Amino acid sequence: MKRVVNLIWAALLISMASAHAAATPPRIVTLTPGIAEWTAEILGKDQALKELVGVSQYSNYPPELKKIATVAAFPQLDVERIASFKPTLVIASEDANRPEQIEKLRRLKLHVEVMPPQSFGGMAAWIQKLARVLNAPVGGKAAAKKWSDGVAALKRPSGHSPEQIFVQVQGSPIVTIGGTSFLSEALQAVGDHNLFSDLKEPYPKVSREAVLKRNPDRIWIVDESGSAARIRDGWKKFSSLKAVAQGRIEILSADDFARCSLRLLNALKRLH
Domain positions in the chain are: 23-152, 164-271
**How far apart are alpha carbons 205 and 105 in whole angstroms?**
35
pLDDT tens track, the chain, 272 positions: 555 445 455 454 455 444 444 468 899 999 999 999 999 999 999 999 999 999 999 999 999 999 999 998 887 889 999 999 999 999 999 989 999 999 999 999 999 999 999 999 999 999 999 999 999 999 999 999 999 999 999 987 777 889 999 999 988 899 999 999 999 999 998 889 999 999 999 999 999 999 999 999 999 999 877 789 999 999 999 999 999 999 999 999 888 988 999 999 999 988 87
Cβ atoms of residues 166 and 243 within 8 Å: yes
Going by C-alpha positions, the residue among 203, 202, 199, 181 that lies closest to residue 264 is 181
C-alpha triplet 155, 158, 159: angle, nearest 5°? 125
CATH topology identical between 23-152 and 164-271: yes
Cβ atoms of residues 195 and 225 within 8 Å: no
Please give the CATH architecture assigned to the domain spanning 164-271.
Answer: 3-Layer(aba) Sandwich (3.40)
**How far apart are alpha carbons 210 and 3 in whole angstroms?**
84
The CATH homologous superfamily to which domain 23-152 belongs is Nitrogenase molybdenum iron protein domain (3.40.50.1980)
Look up the pTM and report it: 0.85
Question: Angle, to 10 degrees, between the axis of helix 262-271 and the axis of helix 137-153?
Answer: 10
